[in-house]
Amino acid sequence: MEKIIKFLDYLDNQKNYSDYTILNYKKDIEEYYEFLKEKKYSFDNMDYKKCVDYLLFLEKKDLKKTSVSRRLSSLRTFYKFLVLNNYVDSNPFLLVSSPKKEKRIPKFINYQGIDEIFNIPNLNTPDGQRERVILEVLYGSGVRVSELVSIKIKDIDFNNRTILIFGKGSKERLVSFGEPALDAIKNYLEDGRKVLLGEINSDYLIVGKEKENLTTRRIEQIINDLIKETSIKMNITPHMFRHTFATHLLDQGCDLIAVQELLGHESLSSTEIYTHVSNEHLREVYMKCHPRNFDKK
């Protein structure tokens, strides 16, 4: 449908959203379009009652509350675009409230697990050097995987050890990285990256074999392959390194507002979820270490 194509083009060229985000919008709107066809509704005659019908349509799919909220958010954004371009008169999904979020404590990797993962890459190979940079940047700066694949070499300030990140909605922020990451990046740029690129030129930091840069999906595959080489049994995603970054900073006494800035969260409430993880960790340490909690023989 022409309106959907124009909307996706708007997200790509004007909002500068990642391919992954645009794909999710596309899926949500195509699903909505199927609902409209089933009910014989059209984009331009939706009202509150019909929006409720759509919620019932989603309910039959037995989706999580977060999935329902994402679909509603997608449609609010879509209708906002339609209103701005005079395709419709109003945004009916502004009348519909999202389900209350289920607060789930994010999973993270413990210190031992991080050490084990970081010892897997073979730094004598181009792939291993690239893997080490991926790990160092994900864990060392807390960037999203979509932000990682978008990093260009010109965005890196080697003297101050910072990276200019273009986050959600084209919002810029500076993230820091440590000495180990600096060494890994320099080693990779001087050696492995050149081998991987071959005759291809690229501005991007994370490149593939004869490819200008990698997709988020390929990063997921690389992480999966690394985890298979460890003794870790839990399912680890690239985004879990972001959770681990925040949790470990708070464990070490970092200020919550500083973590918020580093993660690029608009609201402090988004960052506060990590305090629950950190507090639970502190409780475990207390229970294991305080002499009054030892079993009396």
CATH of the domain at 165: 1.10.443.10
pLDDT tens digit sequence for 199-231: 899 999 999 998 888 999 999 999 999 999 999
Instruction: Give the model confidence (pLDDT) of 122-140 as tens digits.
Output: 999 999 999 999 999 999 9
| Judgement on whether residues 74 and 198 belong to the same structural domain of the protein | no
Last residue of a domain, one of 61, 95, 129: 95
Residues 153 and 215 in one domain: yes
258 and 137 in one domain?
yes
Has residue 196 been placed in a domain?
yes
Kindly state whether residues 180 and 37 are assigned to the same domain.
no
265 shares a domain with 154: yes
Inform me whether the pLDDT recorded for 116 exceeds 50: yes
Active-site residue, 248 included: no
Q: According to the model, what pLDDT value does residue 207 have?
A: 96
Does residue 239 carry a catalytic annotation? Answer: yes
Residue pair 18/167 in contact by the 8 Å Cβ criterion: no
Tokens 């990093």 belong to which residue?
151
Q: Which of 168, 173, 276, 281 is catalytic?
A: 168
| Residue 105 forms part of a structural domain | no
For residue 164, the cross-strand partners are 174
pLDDT of residue 289: 62
Q: Across residues 269-284, what is the average pLDDT? A: 66
Residue in 209, 170, 234 with CA at minimum distance from that of residue 16 = 170
Give me the mean pLDDT over the 44-54 stretch.
90
What integer pLDDT is reported at residue 291 of this predicted model?
61
Q: Which of the residue ranges 15-19, 170-174, 216-220, 273-277 would you say has the lowest mean pLDDT?
A: 273-277
Is 104 part of the annotated catalytic residue set?
A: no
Averaged over 260-274, what is the pLDDT?
81
- In the chain, the percentage of residues whose pLDDT exceeds 90 is 59
Does the residue 297 lie in any domain? no
Residues 168 and 273 in one domain: yes
The region that residue 273 occupies, defined by phi over 0 for left and psi between -120 and 50 for alpha, beta otherwise, is: alpha
Task: Identify the domain boundary among 95, 128, 163.
Answer: 95
pLDDT of the residue at 219? 96
- Residue 211's DSSP bridge partners are 208
Give dist(CA 195, CA 74) in Å, integer.
41
Mean pLDDT of 38-45: 88
The answer to whether residue 44 sits within a structural domain is yes
Query: Which residue of the set 218, 239, 276, 281 is catalytic?
Result: 239
Residue 256 lies in a domain: yes
- The per-residue pLDDT of the chain, averaged, comes to 88
> Do 39 and 84 fall within a single domain?
yes
pLDDT of residue 210: 87
Given a contact cutoff of 8 angstroms between Cβ atoms, the answer to whether 226 and 121 are in contact is yes
Do 122 and 87 lie in a common domain?
A: no
Q: Which of 144, 193, 243, 248 is catalytic?
A: 144
Instruction: Find the catalytic residue in 17, 25, 79, 274.
Output: 274
- Shared domain check, 128 and 48: no
Output the pLDDT for position 297. 44
pLDDT of residue 296: 45
Catalytic hit among 50, 265, 276, 281: 265
* pLDDT above 70 coverage of the chain, percent: 91
In this structure, the answer to whether residues 150 and 207 fall within a common structural domain is yes
pLDDT of residue 91: 93
If one counts the domains in the chain, the total is 2
pLDDT bucket at 285, cuts 50 / 70 / 90: low
| Domain residue limits at 268 | 111-288
pLDDT at 290: 55
Among 130, 242, 243, 248, the active-site one is 242
Please check whether residue 50 lies inside any domain of the structure: yes
The tokens 């037995």 sit on which residue? 62
Q: Which of 37, 61, 95 is the last residue of a domain?
A: 95
CA atoms within 13 A on the CB side of 219: 26
CA atoms of 189 and 277, how far apart (whole Å): 36
pLDDT at position 293: 54
Considering the domain architecture, whether residues 223 and 85 belong to the same structural domain is answered as: no
Asked whether residue 139 falls in the same domain as residue 276, the answer is yes
Look at residue 123 and tell me if it is in a domain.
Answer: yes
265 is catalytic: yes
Residue 14 belongs to a domain with what CATH number? 1.10.150.130
Of residues 208 and 287, more confidence is placed in 208
For residue 176, tell me if it sits in a domain: yes
- pTM here? 0.63
Mean pLDDT of all residues in 80-88: 92
